[in-house]
């Protein structure tokens, strides 16, 4: 019984309690490991991915583009840890460098998406009226198209490339996300403390940024952790279809289609390595995102959800 009380430190209070964790990164990590082991595993994978991306130049034994005629389709060995591809490029180095694309797409696209979602969501939810009607009808129209179709069409216009993809995915997720943010804004706006703030003489801008935004922030974090793996998947899909990052950049999705599909039976490591890298990354982000949602979701506030 006593243990349960400790487990639910802020039951029945108004604060999304992880905000207090922000004080200590360590206590956050500790809580994750203690109460959300799967989420902690996800966090570990995510951190590993970022570490790899940042220090790719030191970790990878070769450049991602070093071709070597003698090592074509070399099987895994000490020289090539997980083998080499049809141009004799070291697969391990390519996977390691590929993590940079994954991380840039994930963070870049979602950072852009959050900027768009937050500004649209705050504006339409706060002011309502015709502004809300017009913008949200456009969002409605946007949401009738499947994401991949919009992305394909926009790549056809903007051309392939990392920056193009970041902007396209940012738009794609941002416009959709604005609906979610707006919903939360509407619910916070209906709370009495917003009226109190108004009665104190707070103006629109301050009301939005100081009083409204911090109440929406937990949702933004949840949304971001859900959308990062989605962005990575869509990049991989686009690259697989040949619309993503052009060669010779080591995009995992492209490695799956360009090299692996043709030579899969002869050199299975060509498919296994990028496939595994993608799956692990997505799995890590999803587990981490799930744990974050359990911890931050206002509906589950105070409880820790399922482990």
Chain residues in the site for another protein (CB under 8 A): 10, 13-16, 19, 129, 191-193, 195-203, 210-211, 214-215, 217
Q: List the one residue out of 56, 67, 18 whose CA is nearest residue 222.
A: 18
Q: Considering beta carbons, is residue 146 or 201 the nearer one to another protein?
A: 201
Question: By the 8 A CB rule, do 275 and 283 touch?
Answer: no
- Who contacts 245 (Cβ-Cβ below 8 Å, separation ≥6)? 101, 160, 161, 162, 165, 235, 239, 251, 254
Cα(117)–Cα(154) distance, rounded to whole angstroms? Answer: 19
Min dist. Cβ of residue 221 to another protein (A): 13
Q: Considering beta carbons, is residue 202 or 241 the nearer one to another protein?
A: 202
Cα(72)–Cα(91) distance, rounded to whole angstroms? Answer: 11
Q: Considering beta carbons, is residue 63 or 204 the nearer one to another protein?
A: 204
Q: Considering beta carbons, is residue 100 or 211 the nearer one to another protein?
A: 211
Cα(112)–Cα(64) distance, rounded to whole angstroms? Answer: 28
Phi and psi angles of residue 8, each rounded to the nearest 5 degrees, phi first: -120, 70
Min dist. Cβ of residue 23 to another protein (A): 12
Cα(268)–Cα(270) distance, rounded to whole angstroms? Answer: 5
Min dist. Cβ of residue 215 to another protein (A): 6
Min dist. Cβ of residue 249 to another protein (A): 42
Q: Considering beta carbons, is residue 48 or 217 the nearer one to another protein?
A: 217
SS3 content of the chain, % helix, strand, coil (to 5): 75, 0, 25
Q: Considering beta carbons, is residue 146 or 192 the nearer one to another protein?
A: 192
DSSP assignment of 270-301: HHHHHHHHHHHHHHHHHHHHHHHHHHH-GGGT
Cα distance from N-terminal residue to C-terminal residue, the chain: 19
Min dist. Cβ of residue 109 to another protein (A): 28
Q: Considering beta carbons, is residue 193 or 307 the nearer one to another protein?
A: 193
Min dist. Cβ of residue 211 to another protein (A): 6
Min dist. Cβ of residue 17 to another protein (A): 9
């Amino acid at each position: 019984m006593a243990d349960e009380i400790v487990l639910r430190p802020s039951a029945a209070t108004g604060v999304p309690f992880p905000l207090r964790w922000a004080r200590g990164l360590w206590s956050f990590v500790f809580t994750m490991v203690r109460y959300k082991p799967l989420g902690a595993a996800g966090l570990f994978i995510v951190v590993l991915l970022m570490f790899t991306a940042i220090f790719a130049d030191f970790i990878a034994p070769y450049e991602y583009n070093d071709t070597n005629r003698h090592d074509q389709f070399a099987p895994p060995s000490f020289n090539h840890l997980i083998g080499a591809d049809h141009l004799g490029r070291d697969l391990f180095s390519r996977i390691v460098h590929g993590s940079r694309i994954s991380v840039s797409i994930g963070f870049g696209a979602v950072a852009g998406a959050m900027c768009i979602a937050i500004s649209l969501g705050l504006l339409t939810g706060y002011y309502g009226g015709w502004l809300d009607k017009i913008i949200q009808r456009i969002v409605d129209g946007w949401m009738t198209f499947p994401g991949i179709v919009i992305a394909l069409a926009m790549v056809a216009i903007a051309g392939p490339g990392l920056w193009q993809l970041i902007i396209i995915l940012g738009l794609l997720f941002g416009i959709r996300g604005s609906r979610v943010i707006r919903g939360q804004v509407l619910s916070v706006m209906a709370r009495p403390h917003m009226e109190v703030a108004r009665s104190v003489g707070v103006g629109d801008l301050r009301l939005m940024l100081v009083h409204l935004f911090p109440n929406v922030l937990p949702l933004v974090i949840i949304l971001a952790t859900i959308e990062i793996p989605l962005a990575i998947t869509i990049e991989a899909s686009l690259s697989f279809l040949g619309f993503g990052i052009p060669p010779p950049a080591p995009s995992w999705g492209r490695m799956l289609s360009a090299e692996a599909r043709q030579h899969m039976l002869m050199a299975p490591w060509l498919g296994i390595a990028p496939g595994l890298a993608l799956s692990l990354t997505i799995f890590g982000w999803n587990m981490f995102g799930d744990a974050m949602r359990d911890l931050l979701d206002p509906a589950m506030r105070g409880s820790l959800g399922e482990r």
